[in-house]
Amino acid sequence: MDMQVQEEICCPPFDPKPWTNTFVTLDDKQFIKEKVRTFFFMPINFGGVMKRVVSKVERAGGTVVDNMVLSDHQSKWRMDVYIAVDREIPGCEQTHLSGTFLSQVYEGPFSDTAIWTKDFERLAKEKGLEIKRWFMWYTTCPKCAKKYGKNYVVILGS
């Protein structure tokens, strides 16, 4: 891969295998929490929020762990995002997540989200689970998804 192409890719490649149809345990995993405005569940200011947060993380000498940003839709108008970090980040709301989550990977356009959520509900029911809390993990930004030719989204539920 030449240097110009490397610079254009900002998201690391995602390996779906460890996240496909399995259970994932988070043990007091450190995150910072931010709010994103949405319009009928579609994020409006996600990019701006992420640029601001990543800048704070970098200024603190930290990193976003595994490029993990979990979205938790609170309503049609707002979602909370949880950004995995390797240290406390000044000026950000710190939080930790623990628990065992059913994990499933989906691939395709974001317009398939309703199909994915119905499938995830079916999968949970097959495993005897009632999902009370959902997270969506958009593993790459739209530009990198286009460059990789895959748009992987992980749904985590507990």
CATH of the domain at 141: 3.20.80.10
SS3 149: coil
- Say how many domains are in the chain: 1
The domain containing residue 102 runs over which residues? 3-10+18-157
Task: Give the C-alpha separation, 99 to 28, whole Å.
Answer: 8
Question: What are the pLDDT digits (tens) for 72-131?
Answer: 999 999 999 999 999 999 999 999 999 999 999 999 998 899 999 999 999 999 999 999
What are the pLDDT digits (tens) for 10-63?
889 999 999 999 999 999 999 999 999 999 888 899 989 999 999 999 999 999
d(CA 129, CA 156): 12
48 phi and psi, to 5 degrees? -65, -40
Give the C-alpha distances (Å, rounded to integers) separating 27 from 31, 38, 85, 112, 115. 12, 29, 14, 31, 30
For 18-41, give one letter per residue: b (16+ CB within 10 A) or e.
ebeeeeeebeebbbbbbebebeee
